[in-house]
Amino acid sequence: MRWRTRCLIAAGSVVGCALLAASVGAQSLLEFDLWMQRIEKRSLSMQRSLQRQDAPTSIADAREMLELYQRMQQYFVDRGESGSAVELSAQGRELIAKVIESAGSANYAVALQSAIALANDCRDCHEEYKPL
Spell out the domains of the chain, with CATH numbers in brackets: 28-129 (1.20.120)
Does the predicted model carry a pTM greater than 0.75? Answer: no
Spatial neighbors of 109 by CB under 8 A, at least 6 apart, are: none
Could you write out the three-class secondary structure of 1-22? CCHHHHHHHHHHHHHHHHHHHH
For 40-91, what is each residue's pLDDT tens digit?
A: 999 999 999 999 999 999 999 999 999 999 988 888 888 887 678 888 888 9
As a whole number of angstroms, the distance between CA 84 and CA 116 comes to 20
As a whole number of angstroms, the distance between CA 75 and CA 85 comes to 10
